[in-house]
């Protein structure tokens, strides 16, 4: 494990922000840190960054108790961005890179690479306040990754981006993982969680209420619903003791039928039951989205 938190407790003025939170983050993975507002995510992230200390419990980084010196191996993109508005883009990137321990020549080389990659090299000598919000966020992203940290923490990294730039950053995050980085990804966008995350922890009311591999969690929450598609326009599949027809709708000339199993039967048996009533075009099990699972887990804990 690259990072392991054990029974973390943190309290502020009578408010219990984290209640015995334990999280294990594997190396070279994208780990989703999820939860509603006020669940304790930001407090946990602040502890990882040594901004604050836990009241009890322990955080280990690469097998050793986390120390402030480990911050040079961490890159943090906070939800509340913070750039010096009057400072020039290039000067700011170099200044913050040097604070992370990068030699000036290496910092300049890496800055050139990223500014050209994001096609914003021409803005290097402009003040930050002259940039659009989207461009400022690109600069913040560059600052976060420039020193090539082993652990990257992205808190709502797509906030304020248009779809094209969201896709750009998603590809960069996947590429960073491919190059060996471990990433903590905190977001309210559950579709992005499905697309990017290997494993997740869901915090609610200061505790971990759900954790594990994303695919395995979706399997765990499935309701044995199948989607049947056919080109037939007039279809009637009667319910029986094995299944019931839940819904039926036309989508671009295709009839989609939602069927819920009453008993656990193999997919091939269900297909045999359906085929007398329609010419089958496709057949797949419907897994719940992470947004649906998020709501169920939070309400179940509340």
Spatial neighbors of 302 by CB under 8 A, at least 6 apart, are 204, 205
The mean per-residue pLDDT over the stretch 150-171 comes to: 91
Reported as a single tens digit per residue, the pLDDT across 247-279 is 888 888 889 999 999 887 888 888 888 888 888
Q: Name the residue ranges covered by the structural domains of the chain.
A: 3-219, 223-286
Query: Which class would CATH give 3-219?
Result: alpha beta
The predicted pLDDT at position 146 comes to 95
The predicted pLDDT at position 269 comes to 86
The mean per-residue pLDDT over the stretch 272-290 comes to: 88
Rounded distance between C-alpha atoms, residue 255 and residue 274, angstroms: 14
Reported as a single tens digit per residue, the pLDDT across 8-55 is 999 998 889 999 999 999 999 999 999 998 899 999 999 999 999 999
Query: Which one has a higher pLDDT value, 267 or 181?
Result: 181
Antiparallel, parallel or unpaired: β 151-155 and 182-186: parallel
> How is the beta sheet containing 56-61 ordered, strand by strand?
15-25, 3-12, 56-61, 64-65
CA of residue 171 relative to chain centroid, distance: 13
> How is the beta sheet containing 254-261 ordered, strand by strand?
243-251, 254-261, 225-230, 280-286
Tokens representing 56? 């009890």
Rounded distance between C-alpha atoms, residue 18 and residue 12, angstroms: 10
Which sign does the torsion angle of CA 95, 99, 104, 109 carry?
negative
Rounded distance between C-alpha atoms, residue 235 and residue 248, angstroms: 9
pLDDT at 84 over 90: no
Rounded distance between C-alpha atoms, residue 198 and residue 26, angstroms: 10
pLDDT at 160 over 80: no
Report the mean per-residue pLDDT for the chain: 91
The predicted pLDDT at position 301 comes to 53
Spatial neighbors of 188 by CB under 8 A, at least 6 apart, are 34, 156
H or E segment at 254?
Answer: strand 254-261
pLDDT band at 302 (very low <50, low <70, confident <90, very high): very low
The predicted pLDDT at position 131 comes to 87
């Amino acid at each position: 494990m690259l990072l392991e938190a054990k029974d973390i407790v943190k309290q502020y003025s009578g408010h219990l922000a984290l209640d015995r939170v334990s999280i294990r983050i594997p190396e070279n993975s994208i780990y989703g840190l999820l939860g509603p507002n006020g669940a304790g995510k930001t407090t946990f992230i602040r502890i990882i960054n040594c901004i604050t200390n836990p009241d009890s419990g322990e955080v280990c980084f690469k097998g050793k108790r986390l120390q402030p010196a480990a911050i040079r191996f961490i890159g943090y993109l906070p939800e509340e961005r913070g750039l010096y508005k009057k400072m020039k883009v290039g000067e700011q990137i170099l200044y913050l890179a040097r604070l992370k321990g990068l030699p000036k020549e290496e910092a300049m080389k890496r800055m050139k690479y990223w500014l050209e990659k994001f096609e914003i090299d021409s803005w290097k000598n402009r003040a930050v306040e002259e940039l659009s919000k989207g461009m400022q966020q690109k600069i913040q992203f560059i600052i976060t990754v420039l020193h090539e940290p082993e652990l990257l923490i992205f808190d709502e990294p797509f906030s304020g981006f248009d779809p094209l730039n969201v896709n750009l950053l998603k590809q960069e995050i996947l590429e960073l993982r491919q190059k060996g980085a471990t990433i903590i990804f905190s977001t309210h966008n559950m579709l992005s969680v499905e697309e990017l995350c290997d494993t997740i922890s869901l915090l609610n009311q200061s505790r971990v209420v759900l954790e594990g591999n994303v695919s395995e969690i979706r399997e765990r929450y499935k309701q044995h619903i199948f989607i049947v598609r056919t080109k037939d326009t007039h279809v009637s599949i009667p319910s029986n003791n094995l299944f019931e027809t839940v819904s039926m709708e036309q989508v671009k000339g295709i009839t989609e039928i939602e069927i819920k199993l009453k008993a656990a039967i193999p997919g091939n048996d269900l297909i045999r039951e359906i085929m007398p009533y329609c010419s089958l075009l496709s057949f797949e099990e419907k897994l719940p989205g992470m947004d649906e699972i998020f709501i169920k887990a939070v309400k179940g804990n509340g």
